[in-house]
């Protein structure tokens, strides 16, 4: 049996190839579509004369890179092929989400005019999903076609921006904490303050350009609550970050391109995402991932149906993805946090070690320490401007 390459192995090879592929986001800009980009959306929720819902011939999905299992040899997606076998629907899977803002920027003009963007499902992070719902750019899910939605973990069942999950279902979640090299740092890192204040770390620290992650951790560090952002907490966080930038303590703000430099030792500590760190720590056992004592951030990327997408077909796919067996299959490759109940049991059949990995299936104690960033604050123009000014843009 040929075993498909896991995401970790793929990144490992990329790192060998000059560390240039550690920026999967950027690379996807070079293409990476399974087929034609011009997907034509069929009428939403098509029904036959008899009233029975019918599946479209094709389902087009926009997703982030390395976010579903892939057979590296054949460049095929086993999970998607299984969906095609079961339903007869061809899947056009396009890895064109590099960055929430960028995806939105590309599609905003069409969405605002009510023109379909040729996607039946798009996968976007909480605050951007909230924006899509708020602006009316998405269609309601057909929950009657998604009985498996009952497998959604309780913690994610009711976000403020979509309390009944009428418009969205989580694809993956992840934790934001500190990734570091204890040997170089010379000890354990347990707080964001250390990153900002330890003189040994001057110029060896990076934070994330994603505002909810960076500012969320800063607010927690200052004793505030990032799930309900107040101006005083936010301004204090910005002020401390600016100080770190001005003094040269903070080297850069990054996307997931911190991983290469962290592995090579250009940076010693980074505000980092759990999924990346699962990969990195597997290849570099000297690295560590820690949730700060003051708490970490948890975020979710959500499946949405952009207006004009085929609601019934998209919902049918969501139902498929929420089958614990299918979820486990995706999870074994992706290594983020699975939002589907039962996947932990199902994954034991694939790789028992994964089921006990606290970053993929975090325990109650870890989850209790993780906060979701205030979705309204994440998309607040004044806050964003202040943060962009610190990031240098």
Partner 1 sequence: MDWLHRHRTVVPYLLLAPGLAWLAVFFLVPTYYLANTSLQSGSLDVGYAFTWAWDNYSNAISTYHEQFVRSLEYAGIATVAALLVSYPLAYFIAFRGGRWKGLLLLLIIAPFFVTYLIRTLAWQTILADEGFVVDVLQTIGVLGDGDRLLATSTAVVAGITYNFLPFMALPLYVSLEQIDARLIEAAEDLYASKVHAFLRVTLPLSLPGVFAGTLLTFIPAAGDFINAELLGTPRQSMIGNVIQSKFLVLTDYGQAAALSFTLMAAILVLIAIYTRVLGTERMGV
Q: Counting contacts by CB under 8 A, is residue 113 touching partner 1?
A: no
Q: Counting contacts by CB under 8 A, is residue 26 touching partner 1?
A: yes
Q: Please give the backbone phi and psi of residue 297, each rounded to the nearest 5 degrees, phi first.
A: -110, 145
Of residues 315 through 344, those in contact with partner 1 by CB under 8 A are none
Sign of CA dihedral 377, 382, 387, 391: positive
Extract the tokens encoding 376.
């309204």
Extract the tokens encoding 313.
């077909």
Name 81's Cβ contacts closer than 8 Å, sequence gap at least 6: none
State which residue, 337 or 378, has the beta carbon closest to partner 1. 378
Q: Considering only residues 81, 266, 283, 323, which one is a binding residue for partner 1 as defined by CB under 8 A? A: 266
Residue 301, CA distances (Å) to 122, 157, 379 in order: 10, 13, 16
Q: Counting contacts by CB under 8 A, is residue 381 touching partner 1?
A: yes
Closest CA to 34 of 67, 5, 2, 62: 62
- Only one of the segments 55-63, 150-158, 363-371, 377-385 lies at the binding site for partner 1 (rule: CB under 8 A); that segment is 377-385
- Only one of the segments 5-13, 149-157, 261-269, 270-278 lies at the binding site for partner 1 (rule: CB under 8 A); that segment is 261-269
- Confirm if 189 and 289 have CB atoms less than 8 A apart: no
For the CB of residue 40, give the shortest distance to partner 1 in the complex, in Å.
26
- Only one of the segments 68-76, 131-139, 153-161, 360-368 lies at the binding site for partner 1 (rule: CB under 8 A); that segment is 131-139
- How many helices and strands in the chain, by DSSP H and E? 18, 11
Q: Counting contacts by CB under 8 A, is residue 16 touching partner 1?
A: no
State which residue, 163 or 199, has the beta carbon closest to partner 1. 199
- Confirm if 89 and 58 have CB atoms less than 8 A apart: yes
Q: Counting contacts by CB under 8 A, is residue 243 touching partner 1?
A: no
Q: Considering only residues 29, 55, 282, 350, which one is a binding residue for partner 1 as defined by CB under 8 A? A: 29
Q: Counting contacts by CB under 8 A, is residue 376 touching partner 1?
A: no
- Only one of the segments 25-33, 189-197, 276-284, 341-349 lies at the binding site for partner 1 (rule: CB under 8 A); that segment is 25-33
Distance CA 298, CA 367 (A): 8
Of residues 199 through 228, those in contact with partner 1 by CB under 8 A are 203
State which residue, 58 or 131, has the beta carbon closest to partner 1. 131
How is residue 221 annotated by DSSP?
Answer: H
Residue 159 C-alpha from the chain's centroid? 16
Residue written as token pair 């907490």: 233
Q: What SS3 class is residue 301?
A: strand
Q: Counting contacts by CB under 8 A, is residue 390 touching partner 1?
A: yes
- Only one of the segments 86-94, 99-107, 337-345, 351-359 lies at the binding site for partner 1 (rule: CB under 8 A); that segment is 99-107
Q: Considering only residues 219, 250, 346, 359, which one is a binding residue for partner 1 as defined by CB under 8 A? A: 250
Name 99's Cβ contacts closer than 8 Å, sequence gap at least 6: 25, 255
């Amino acid at each position: 049996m040929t075993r498909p390459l896991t995401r970790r192995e793929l990144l490992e090879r990329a790192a060998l190839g000059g560390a240039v592929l550690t920026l999967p986001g950027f690379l996807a800009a070079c293409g990476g579509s399974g087929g034609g980009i011009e997907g034509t959306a069929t009428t939403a929720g098509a029904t036959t004369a008899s009233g029975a819902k019918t599946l479209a011939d094709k389902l087009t999905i926009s997703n982030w890179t390395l976010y579903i299992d892939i057979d590296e040899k054949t460049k095929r997606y086993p999970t998607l092929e299984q969906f095609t076998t079961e339903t007869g629907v061809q899947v056009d899977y396009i890895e064109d989400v590099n960055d929430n803002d960028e995806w939105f920027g590309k599609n905003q003009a069409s969405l605002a005019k009510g023109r379909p963007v040729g996607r039946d499902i798009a996968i976007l992070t909480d605050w951007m999903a909230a924006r899509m719902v708020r602006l009316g750019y998405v269609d309601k899910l057909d929950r009657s076609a998604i009985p498996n939605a009952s497998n959604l973990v309780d913690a994610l069942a009711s976000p403020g921006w979509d309390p009944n999950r009428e418009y969205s279902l989580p694809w993956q979640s992840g934790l934001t904490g500190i990734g570091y090299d204890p040997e170089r740092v010379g000890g354990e890192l347990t707080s964001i303050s250390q990153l900002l204040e330890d003189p040994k770390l001057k110029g060896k620290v990076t934070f994330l350009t994603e505002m909810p992650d960076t500012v969320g951790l800063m607010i927690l560090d200052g004793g505030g609550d990032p799930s309900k952002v107040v101006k005083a907490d936010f301004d204090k966080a910005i002020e401390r970050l600016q100080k770190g930038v001005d003094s040269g303590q903070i080297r850069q703000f990054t996307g997931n391109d911190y991983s290469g430099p962290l592995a090579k030792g250009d940076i010693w500590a980074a505000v980092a995402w759990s999924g990346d760190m699962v990969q990195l720590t597997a290849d570099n056992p000297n690295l560590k991932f820690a949730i700060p004592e003051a708490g970490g951030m948890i975020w979710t990327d959500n499946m949405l149906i952009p207006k004009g997408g085929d609601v019934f077909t998209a919902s049918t796919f969501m139902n498929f993805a929420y089958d614990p067996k299918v979820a486990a299959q995706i999870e074994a490759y992706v290594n983020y946090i699975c939002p589907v109940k039962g996947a932990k049991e199902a994954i034991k059949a694939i790789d028992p070690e994964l089921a006990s990995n606290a970053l993929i299936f975090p325990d109650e104690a870890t989850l209790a320490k993780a906060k979701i960033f205030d979705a309204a604050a994440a998309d607040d123009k004044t806050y964003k401007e202040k943060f962009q000014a610190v990031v240098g843009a």
